[in-house]
Chain A
Amino acid sequence: GAGVSQSPSNKVTEKGKDVELRCDPISGHTALYWYRQSLGQGLEFLIYFQGNSAPDKSGLPSDRFSAERTGGSVSTLTIQRTQQEDSAVYLCASSFAGTTGLLSTDTQYFGPGTRLTVL
């Protein structure tokens, strides 16, 4: 079946503009994650959604970052008033919460990412 898809694949924007990044998870997956991968850095957790529970926003670096997940499926990551340090690859992943109830034991399936460049 289809994997995780993300759009756009590349986004170039000017400093101060708002951007929206989209993630379509695998159908039936209840958990959805956003990560940021900066040059030379590992993946940095941003936010995750699980079913109808309140999202875990503990990784969001500032209040300029927000995300929503509509209908338990598609998610949008919004960055307001972008800064040059926001330039990175933004990765989305989804997983099916298994019987353990611990989402970290479930295999996360990653999308190809959105490369954001802030000029």
Chain B
Amino acid sequence: AQSVTQPDIHITVSEGASLELRCNYSYGATPYLFWYVQSPGQGLQLLLKYFSGDTLVQGIKGFEAEFKRSQSSFNLRKPSVHWSDAAEYFCAVGRANNLFFGTGTRLTVIP
């Protein structure tokens, strides 16, 4: 069975600091991996996705993620966080006709 784990429920960072959100997956084959962001009162928005090829994926809003097969991880990073990045972040694994989501990490940005 496939599963996605986001070990950090809540992270607080200072504006301008770097950010890394962790995601681990359990899946037998090559996974399709996604990061979505959910801002307050808004729907989920795709940040980036990985299917194959270069393991470092660039996304929107200055985010990037790195696929590490040996660690079964797909961590999301941003070098300098902005106050507008405060939101809930979801990692997801795609398989067949479905997406399996982690429980999310809530990001708080302090001035």
Give the B-binding residues of A (Cβ under 8 A): 3-4, 31, 33, 35, 40-45, 48, 50, 56, 59, 91, 93, 102-105, 107-113
Contact = CB atoms under 8 A, between A and B. Distances in A.
- Contact-residue size bin, chain B (C-beta under 8 Å from the other chain): 20 to 34
Nearest to B104: A42
Interface string B87-103: 00010101111111111
A109 B101 CA distance: 15
Interface in B62-109: 90, 92, 94-104
User: Among B45, B99, B100, which residue has the most Cβ atoms of chain A within 10 A?
Assistant: B99
A113 B43 contact: yes
B interface secondary structure, majority: strand
A50 B97 CA distance: 9
Nearest to A104: B94
Interface of B: 4, 6, 32, 36, 41-46, 49, 51, 90, 92, 94-104
A42 B46 CA distance: 15
A109 B45 CA distance: 7
A45 B43 contact: no
Contact of A91 (B6, B41, B43, B45): B43
B38 to A, nearest CB: 8
Contact of A42 (B32, B96, B103): B103
